[in-house]
Structure 1
Amino acid sequence: MFTDFIDGPFWTFSVSVFAIGVIWRLISIIRLGVPGDLAVPREDGGAGGMRTILSRFMARPAVRKRALLIVVAGYMFHVGLFALLFFAQPHIDFYVDRFGVPAWAGMPRWLFILTAEIAFAGLIMAWLYRVMHPVTRMLSGIGEHTASWLVFFVMLTGCLALLEQYDSLRVLHFFLAELLLIYFPFSSLMHTFTFAFSRNYTGATMGRRGVDA
């Protein structure tokens, strides 16, 4: 009964909340618009925006020097999580079954486990930095901690479900993933989509003024 509910109605509900919530948040940002700039542009704003979007994927030397640990942890977690979401074979099979997309090559089991360990380490390091550093501790609220721990338990149950010994582990993993989908649009996790908007705005604004942002 519970399994049918998680695999059926609750899945539909969580995906709907996720999709509608994300679209609503993005439309809200776009509708804000940008203030007019009457100054003569020194450079094309579009080029500056694109340059900033791409360049921000690499931490600046000063940041790497002062906060190397959190920079490394960020790469470990984000790259690892991306690989798990899109190249773990169980996830590929799930996308094919639920969304009808064509299958693509996934990572072997040993690489899945290694990638999961790297992502786990990055997430834990980032969270410890958040709670131990005085500035990030002050800036972090219950929302940030909830997001971190929800992602952690989704990943943990996913690794346990990989053993395929108990279907209850798969159901628990799926249930937590659905909770994450519901929570996602209303949390700081929205930076998954909004980072491009903020980087582009900063880069375009500074680019028009001739500043390399």
Structure 2
Amino acid sequence: MFAQLVDGIFWNIALWVFGIGVLWRILSIFRVRNKVDYSVPRGSGLAGAIGANLRRFIPRREMISRTRLQVVAGYLFHLGLFALLVFAAPHVLFIEAQTGLNWTPMPYWAFIVSAQLAFIGLMLLWFHRVMHPVTRLISDADDHIAAILTFVVMLTGCMALIEGFDGLRVLHRFMVELWLVYFPFSRLMHAFMFIPSRAFTGAWFGRRGVKA
């Protein structure tokens, strides 16, 4: 009974909440009206927006010495998680069943490596958050819930590889559904917001001739 709910109505509800929530958050930002800038432009806002997005993928040299742990852990987690989401064989098969799209999944050894990198990166980021006095002070419940929920989703996903026990697959999918419902109302939205945020900052400075 629970498995049928997870594979059926719970999944549909989670997708609708995720889709509508993400769209609402994005539209609410783009609907905010900015004051008209009457100053004479000293550069291209478009070039500034594009440049800011490209340059921010590489940390500034001045910041690396002070944020080396966050930079390395951030790349480990995000690249590992991206590889798992897009190229893990169970996910590729699931996407093909839902949409008809298909591509070559990564081999099992690559899945193990990606999972380990993602776990290491996420745990390092969370440990730094709770142990460093500054990040601990500025963190709230949302930061911890998002990290723990993401960790549980990844953990149950690895457990679900034991294909002989369908309960693990159902548990993983249920945790994914909780994650999808929580996503639009949390800081997990940075997955969609970081590009327009960088673009806005880059355009603002680019128009003024400043390389952001």
TM bucket by the smaller chain? Answer: over 0.9
- Match runs of 1:67-82 below 5 Å: 67-82=67-82
Q: In 1, distance between residues paired with 2:164 and 2:127?
A: 32
What corresponds to 1:34 in structure 2?
34
Q: Following TM superposition, by how much is the alpha carbon of 1:58 offset from its aligned partner in structure 2, in angstroms? A: 1.0
**TM-score normalised per structure 2:** 0.98
Report the 3-state secondary structure (helix = DSSP H, G, I; strand = E; otherwise coil) of the residue aligned with 1:35: coil
Alpha-carbon distance between aligned partners in 1 of 2:35 and 2:136, rounded to the nearest angstrom: 33
CA distance in 2, matches of 1:164, 1:156: 15
Task: Give the corresponding residue for 2:63.
Answer: 63
Match of 2:154 in 1: 155
Question: Which residue of structure 1 lines up, in the alignment, with residue 48 of structure 2?
Answer: 48
Tell me how far 1:96 sits from its aligned partner.
1.1
- In the alignment, which residue of structure 2 is the partner of 1:93? 93
One-letter identity of the residue aligned with 1:7: D
Contact 2:162-2:168 at 8 Å conserved across structures: no
Gaps of 5+ in 1: none
Tell me how far 1:195 sits from its aligned partner. 0.6
**1:34 shift after superposition:** 2.6
| Displacement after TM superposition at 1:168 (Å) | 0.6
CA distance in 1, matches of 2:162, 2:3: 18
Question: Identity percentage over the alignment?
Answer: 53
Residues 56 and 101 (structure 1), Cα distance of their counterparts in 2 relative to 1, 3 Å cut: farther
In 1, Cα distance between the equivalents of 2:34 and 2:79?
32
Question: Is residue 59–residue 71 contact of structure 2 (8 Å, CA) maintained in 1?
Answer: yes
- Alignment map for 1:52-201 (pairs within 5 Å): 52-98=52-98, 100-201=99-200
- Provide the secondary structure at the position in 1 that maps to 2:31: helix
Distance 1:56 1:38 in 2: 28
1:18 aligns with 2:30: no
SS across alignment from 1:67: helix
Work out the number of aligned pairs and report it.
Answer: 212
Could you tell me which amino acid in structure 2 is paired with residue 210 of structure 1? G
User: How far apart are residue 133 of structure 1 and its match?
Assistant: 1.1
Unaligned runs of 5+ in 2: none
Could you say what secondary structure the match of 1:42 adopts?
coil
Structure 1 residue 38, shift from structure 2 partner: 1.1
Shift of 1:97: 1.0
Structure 1 residue runs of 4 or more that deviate by more than 2 Å after TM superposition: none
Residue identity matched to 1:38: Y
Q: What is the deviation of 1:62?
A: 1.4
The alpha-carbon deviation at position 35 of structure 1 amounts to 2.3
TM-score, length of structure 1 as denominator length: 0.98
Structure 1 residue 33 displacement after superposition: 3.0
Deviations 1:51-78 (A, max 9, x none): 0011111111111111101100000000
Which amino acid is the alignment partner of residue 48 of structure 1? G
Alignment RMSD (CA, Å): 0.8
